[in-house]
Structure 1
Amino acid sequence: MNDTVSSDFSPQNAFHSNAADSAISKRFRRIGLITIAAVYFLILVGGIVRASGAGMGCPDWPTCFGRWVPPTDESQLPPNYHEIYAERGYADTEFNPLKTWTEYVNRLIGVSIGGLILLTLLYSIPYLKRDRTVFFLSLSVFLLVGFQGWLGSAVVASNLRPVMITAHMVTAFLIVCLLIYAIARSQQDTMGRLEIGALSPRFKTVLAVAMGMTLLQITMGTQIRESVDVIATTFNQGERHLWREEFPIIFYIHRSFSSVILFTNLWLVWNLVRRLERGHLLRNFGIGLGALVVAAIGTGVTLDRLGFPAFVQPIHLVLANLIFGTQFFLFIALRYSENPRFTAAARVD
């Protein structure tokens, strides 16, 4: 990685202690945080689309039933629209206004987030003179969003193949991680002033292990979700109480592994809460991490015991992504807090 800020290190080129309060830094941080929140919201909406079976509510892309604004009633469609879409490879296409507009709103939110990503890129331009990595991270996110748009069209063209849907979700996950890194790096002077000496020497190692566990758990969850898509099709989205009997063995591994994840993250939270002062940035994130892990396990238990309710699936998905995002931010913050190349720059008056 090219750490521009660490090369040619001098007080004139380093961020000063008040850089976090500068207009450029505050503006980039603000738009970045809004964009991150919006992407998480889009992941939630995408989960709702998938769980409700609304993914083919619009059987074409970028239009919806051939229109930029979809119809609200079947009478607005050609009488032979079933045959039209059957010839395109989408047999048994039935207009459902709720599913159509659910998918359409999902697309509108995606377009809006594209605008936020563009603003994030524009606001990162001043970092070309401060820390070029921030700009190139923002540029990477912008390019990935373009790829994500193409992937969205490929998902529709594939008639919702589970592997394509998974690729779509993984790309969203990567976009969030790059945004988190860009925002954290842009605030590295603030990170450099964080006092973390009281934390256990093993904290960063355990945090890295916890991140690996979360990725493994998300990977298993993705495979389960692909199986659920097949099961849902078999049962025609009904009789959810019977789905559990068809789950693959990985579901039970995923369920048991959550206990290991719980205790590992609680150890991290305990260290942050016990060893850092009240109001410390990382302490607050630690409390949030604990709440997210407990909530994710709670939604997992709900899915397991209450017949896989559709409204819980997207919540469980978003919580898993938020857990890794929080862990990832903590890891980056620790890196900048303990690295003298950055802390020295932050302490220059």
Structure 2
Amino acid sequence: MIDKQAALRFRRLGILTIFAVYFVILVGGIVRASGAGMGCPDWPTCFGQWIPPTNESQLPPNYHEIYAERGYDNTDFNPLKTWTEYTNRLIGVTIGFFILLTAWASRIYLKGDKNIFYLALSVLFLVAFQGWLGSAVVASNLKPLMITLHMLLALFIVALLIYAIARSQKAFIAQIDSHLLSERFVTVLKIAMGMTLVQIAMGTQVREAVDFIAHQHNYIEREYWRDSFPLLFYVHRSFSSIILFTNLWLVWQIHKAVEKHNLLRKLSYALTGLIVTAIIAGITLDRFGMPPVAQPIHLLMANLIFGMQFFIFICVKYSASKSPQYE
């Protein structure tokens, strides 16, 4: 028998951690949109200091040469960009503590469902690896492949957290009535999740191309950036229509198969809202001169879409099994 209060604490802490991870993804998007990705050209220190400087006079006179020798050309100190990136790192460290607490709270399941504990423990190790990967991204001078790996790992971490929390609530989820949903629905849902991952991967590559174009334009004249967009941008844009209609089919199937107050229906409506918001943010980027505020929103929505799809998938699988593990 699992202690109900301890299980409640684990669930609340886990949900808080999930939101915190999405928050750090949002902050990471702000870092990219503001061009602050190299605001700290070294890691884990920032310009060789644990607390970064606030003025260029606090740096060695030859700091340009120092970082040029390390492969970082044109490393000009910008206090806003430096502290934006440094804040991103501090938030990342805070997430690490949340993950640690979640792993510790999951120990109550060692006598019930050990997989929940092992999932939480795996997340802890993956977050540590993600921290190392973040340093590798900086060391690579923001190479597109490294950025893509960094983003996909963040998605995997969130997915494991969602699965761990959902598994701890298996008895509740199993009560959801989804018997009218066909096997084809599950198949299409899996395809939709795969499509979302591909779209996110393409998006990170497009984002890198935009960063290069922005650098060429000295981060001004945003209305002209679109003229230099790569072919991948147009593939990415067109693919969003396929993703939209695929997910709308899923939402329609849920709408027909489940009752009005069913959790699945609420989740499907939330998924629709996320997709529409992501597309609107994408159109804003495309047609209104790449406004910085739209970039992190677009990124966050993409990550939330995958998380919502994955949670719907878990709910359908658990509700179909009708075999709650805990009383």
The aligned length equals: 327
Report the residue type matching 1:59 in the other structure: P
**CA deviation after TM superposition for structure 1 residue 24, in Å:** 2.5
Contact in 2 for aligned 1:163/1:226 (Cα 8 Å): no
Q: Does residue 333 of structure 1 match 2:294?
A: no
Cα deviation per residue 1:16-68 (whole Å; 9 max; x = unaligned)?
A: xxx6x911221111111101101111011111111211011111111112221
Partner of 2:104: 122
**Partner of residue 11, structure 1:** none
In the TM superposition, residue 323 of structure 1 has moved relative to its aligned partner by: 0.4
How far residue 119 of structure 1 moved from its aligned partner, in angstroms, is: 0.5
Name which of 254, 259, 284 aligns with 1:302. 284
The residue number in structure 1 matching 2:267 is 285
SS of equivalent to 1:160:
coil
Corresponding residue SS for 2:158: helix
TM-score computed with the length of structure 1 as normaliser: 0.88
Alignment-mate amino acid for residue 210 of structure 2: V
Contact 1:285–1:330 at 8 Å: present in 2 too? Answer: yes
* Residue identity in the other structure for 1:88: R
Which of 66, 70, 88 matches 2:52? Answer: 70
Distance 1:276 1:24 in 2: 32
Determine the structure 1 residue equivalent to 2:167.
185
State the Cα distance separating 1:219 from its structure 2 match.
Answer: 2.4
- Give the C-alpha shift of residue 225 in structure 1: 1.9
For residue 233 of structure 1, what is the aligned residue in structure 2?
Answer: 215
Given that 1:273 and 1:287 are in contact with CA atoms closer than 8 Å, whether structure 2 keeps it comes out as: no
How high is the sequence identity, in percent, across the aligned residues?
64
Matched position secondary structure for 1:145: helix
> Paired residue for 1:107?
89
Q: Shift of residue 209 of structure 1?
A: 2.3
Q: How much has 1:195 moved relative to structure 2?
A: 1.2
Aligned counterparts of 1:229 and 1:75: Cα–Cα separation in 2: 28
Alignment-derived partner of residue 52 in structure 1: 34
Deviates more, 1:166-175 or 1:273-282: 273-282
Deviation at 1:123, TM superposition (A): 0.7
Q: Which residue is 1:12 aligned to?
A: none
Q: CA deviation at 1:69?
A: 1.3
User: Could you tell me how far apart the structure 2 residues matched to 1:108 and 1:59 are?
Assistant: 16
Deviation, 1:200, is: 4.9
Structural mapping, 1:1-349, within 5 Å: 22-200=4-182, 202-340=184-322, 342-343=323-324, 345=325
The CA distance in 1 between the partners of 2:157 and 2:76, in whole Å, is 33
> Contact 1:162–1:229 (CA<8 Å) still a contact in 2?
no
Q: Which has the larger radius of gyration?
A: 1
Kindly indicate whether the alpha-carbon contact (under 8 Å) linking 1:244 and 1:307 is maintained by their aligned counterparts in 2: yes
Query: What residue identity is the alignment partner of 2:11?
Result: R
Unaligned runs of 5+ in 2: none
User: AA paired with 1:22?
Assistant: K
Q: Name the CA distance, whole Å, in 2 between partners of 1:130 and 1:190.
A: 16
Alpha carbon RMSD of aligned pairs, Å? 1.8
